[in-house]
Amino acid sequence: MKKLIFYLLLLPFISSPGNADESLIRAHFKKGNTFFETGYYSKAIENYNKVIELDPSYIKAYYNRGLVKQKLGLHDQAIKDFTKIIQLKSDYIQAYFERGNAYFDKGLYKEAIEDYSKNLEVNPNDSQSLFNRGLAHKKLKNYKAAHQDFKKLCDSGNDASCTIAKKLSSLIVSEVSAGSKDLKKPGSTSKKLLPAPAVVAKSVKEIKQEVSPEIPECSEGILDLGNGTVKDCKSGLIWIKDMRSSGEIKNWSEAVTYVQALKYPNCGSWRLPTKNELSILSNNLQDCANNPFINIRNGFYWTNEEGSPDQAWLVYLFPYSNERINTKKNTLCIVLPVCSGK
């Protein structure tokens, strides 16, 4: 949904009056930033904690710690950090944006919309806030409101938003055709696009291995296969539908072991994706107006590509980013299994 704003991590240290030991605070803050940038997130948090212990009003430590926790999927804790910043400095607009991202990742779309809107009151043309708010409206099926945000971005030259706005127009037409009285049909004659039927995600234990249906053919979008998996029609790859089904975030070795043990009817060999496969999925999600994934998470995902004996590659999957980093295998990150089919 956004790219992490690393430049904020490099801002010069600004000391606060009355600090018990300004040099010690400065040292811990810089160490925290270094650990953050190199993927040692637990060490980064330890150092930001020490800064806050010495100076409970040090906003940048809360902000950076919140970003680290977001990377680790600790959204409740990240929300607390960004909320503390807002309590200390109510006009720290970027904290609203980041808290909105954390709310979005938790599925609290109304709260996310409120925070993105707060940011937009000050920065009405902020493209990231408009894009993310549009996504949140779409999640709530507020298609008209979502269309307005994406249309504004489209008018400013954002091609990706134009694609989404066009598909949202089709969803609005479909709602009108279904009998919605509160929406007026736009002048567009877009092809009707009906929402995919809801399917309850199954756990691995609930999947019956003896059932082995054929994988349906499809030419576009993301197809719900109805057994806890989805098919990306453009790449032909099969993905786990519930992006949080792997449980807690894992280190690289745990992730490899976990995916290799998976058993689903239409795939016999699950694995971690490549960097390119995650990037393709990220781009395809952008074009999918009503994708069937559950619990899409904002953060770094493991790949099966090793950078060295003790490092592996990560891709920042959502929303629609191709940011890649090489980090230590003992780092805790998100797992999304993939399979090439039968």
What are the tens digits of pLDDT across the range 178-216?
Answer: 554 444 444 443 333 333 333 333 333 332 333 344 566
Among 258-262, 277-281, 283-287, the minimum mean pLDDT is found in 283-287
Quote the domain boundaries for residue 21.
6-140
Angle between helix 143-155 and 127-139 (nearest 10): 160
Provide the domain count of the chain. 2
Per-residue pLDDT, averaged over 232-247, amounts to: 78
In angstroms, what CA-CA distances link 267 with 94, 215, 233, 243?
43, 10, 16, 17
In angstroms, what CA-CA distances link 322 with 3, 10, 161?
9, 22, 17
Task: Write the Ramachandran bin of 92: left for phi over 0, alpha for psi from -120 to 50, otherwise beta.
Answer: beta
The number of beta carbons lying within 10 Å of the beta carbon of residue 42 is: 12
Q: 333 and 210 in one domain?
A: yes
Residue 180 counted as domain residue: no
Distance CA(156)–CA(162), nearest Å, equals 10
Residue 214 counted as domain residue: yes
CATH code, 267:
3.10.100
Mean residue pLDDT across the chain: 77
Residue 155 counted as domain residue: no
Residue 285 counted as domain residue: yes
Q: 36 and 129 in one domain?
A: yes
The model carries a pTM of 0.55
State the pLDDT at residue 6: 39
Residue 70 has pLDDT above 70, yes or no: yes
Q: 222 and 334 in one domain?
A: yes
Q: 213 and 130 in one domain?
A: no
Q: 131 and 22 in one domain?
A: yes
Domain boundary among 106, 140, 174: 140
Q: 123 and 213 in one domain?
A: no
In angstroms, what CA-CA distances link 307 with 37, 299, 316, 338?
17, 19, 16, 20
Per-residue pLDDT, averaged over 312-335, amounts to: 76
Per-residue pLDDT, averaged over 246-261, amounts to: 81
Would you place residue 222 in the very low, low, confident or very high pLDDT band (cuts 50, 70, 90)?
confident
Q: 332 and 237 in one domain?
A: yes
Q: 18 and 133 in one domain?
A: yes
State the pLDDT at residue 186: 44
Q: 216 and 109 in one domain?
A: no
Distance CA(297)–CA(55), nearest Å, equals 32
Residue 148 counted as domain residue: no
Residue 184 counted as domain residue: no
Domain boundary among 94, 124, 140: 140
Residue 233 counted as domain residue: yes
Domain boundary among 123, 140, 157: 140
CATH code, 129:
1.25.40.10
Residue 190 counted as domain residue: no
